[in-house]
Amino acid sequence: MPVDLSNGKPLAWDSAKLDADTKAMLDNLQPNILQAHVRESMSLLLVHFGDGPDGRRFLRSLVPLMKSARKHLEEVRDFNRTKKSGTPYVGVGISKIGYLKVGHSPTRFTDNAFKSGMKRRKDTLSDPAVGAWEEHYQEEIHAIVLIGDATPEPVAATRERVLALLPKTAKVVGEEKGEGLRDAQGRGIEHFGYVDGRSQPLFLADQVAAESGTNWDPFFPLSHVLVPDPLAPHPARHFGSYLVLRKLEQNVRAFREAEEALADALGLKGDDRPLAGAMLVGRFRNGTPLRLHGKPSSEGHPVQNDFSYRDDPGARCPVGAHIRKANPRDSRDGGLERALGVMMARRGQTYGGRTDRPWDDAPATTRPAGGVGLLFMAFNSSLQSQFEFTQQTWADNPDFPAGGTGHDPVIGQGRRDVKVRYPKAWDSAKLSAPQRQVPQTVTMKGGEYFFMPSLAYLKSL
């Protein structure tokens, strides 16, 4: 039976009743797409091929270091039962020019953003001029090899094995090192100090069952992340996903100053002051959603995610907060992120070391102004209607969801001219006087679009 990507039920991946096509799909799909792979430590190798046939051989030679999505899911199941660790993650993505280089026409791909490459989408995304990107992103990147695991040692060992396979005609034009950040309670956070990676579309029956809720349905069909791999031997059973990679530098000092300035402007005192940052992000630092609480809550481990914005016109969670701009949940038209298929699977990792404690209240002056940030990564079935749509039509659009909302305070790009009003207090219909928007504190330093092909394609090279 052909794999039904729009199936309205979560995928019971370990069911004995699984049909042959779905089994083949899981045996040939790369891991980390349907379910996040542990990647506390990461190395991303950005590769340029000088010679097409050598490039093909290199890509094929990586297959024995890789595992299938099914193998990964089995490892996760075993780990939950026995605490036995799995094997490192090795993922491979190929850019549009990479496909051309290895002699495969990218015309069979349907995504126009992918077929243009990120450099040519810079106006759509209001990105900095390519000349301002980090040098390695200015080069032609043909492929990316992602290596990840729970600790640095297996990543270093696997990285050596990958590099040993690299032909003389190819070079690593750049490398990114991801390093997970955790708060004092061990929760994954980003550099501004907030819990991140919590709200995700879930595709698998066991994951959906573990996340019961009444306000937010975390289940999304496979069509949000998978497309037939057009160059695989059997595109009806061999699937892949589009990967967006963006290096986003965070000026933590400036963000902290903006939080303080907003708290002053709103007259917030004492333990109400964290409300200012929460109004920018939509959650307090410990992940407490502003939709549910006006103060950081100790309830909810894991961090609460069962909420929608129905009945909150913005008095609790401002409509301009990052998480509300990036995922309006069901505030309009039954859930734009679902109706329009926007929700993507975020799989980023923080980069850059810190000697301070990102989650505490130490003064802004003690915070890094650069050199740290997020290696934003997400899997999409359409870069145009998921990642790009979120960035351009929601985050960079001061009129989404309504006039006067302003840019996304965290990731919005473009001139922040519109003045915005915030609730005077949590759950208050009274609004502040119009305020200048917080400055842009996240800077795009480069990136690229890739397709993560099926293992069957890589084996066929």
Point out which residues bind ligand HEM (CB under 6 A): 190, 192, 194-199, 248, 250, 281, 283, 322-323, 326-327, 373-374, 376, 387, 390-391, 395, 410-411, 442
Q: How far is the CB of 229 from ligand HEM (least distance, A)?
A: 24
- The nearer residue to ligand HEM, 231 or 383, going by C-beta atoms, is 383
Check: CB of residue 162 under 8 Å from CB of residue 261: no
What six digits make up the tokens of 375?
A: 């290696």
* Minimum distance of ligand HEM from residue 412's CB (angstroms): 10
- Least distance (Å) from ligand HEM to the CB of residue 29? 22
- What's the closest the beta carbon of residue 286 comes to ligand HEM, in angstroms? 11
The smaller minimum CB distance to ligand HEM, of residues 237 and 283, is found at 283
Among all chains, which residue has been given the structure tokens 């359409």? Answer: 382
Nearest residue to the partner ligand HEM, using Cβ: 199
Q: Which is nearer to ligand HEM, 35 or 250 (CB)?
A: 250
> Which residue, 237 or 285, is less far from ligand HEM as judged by CB?
285
To the nearest whole angstrom, how small is the minimum distance from the Cβ of residue 368 to ligand HEM?
13
Q: Which is nearer to ligand HEM, 41 or 380 (CB)?
A: 380
CB of 125 to ligand HEM, least distance (A): 9
Cβ closest to ligand HEM, residue 68 vs residue 215: 215
User: Closest CB to ligand HEM among 195 and 268?
Assistant: 195
Least spacing, CB of residue 56 vs ligand HEM, in Å: 32
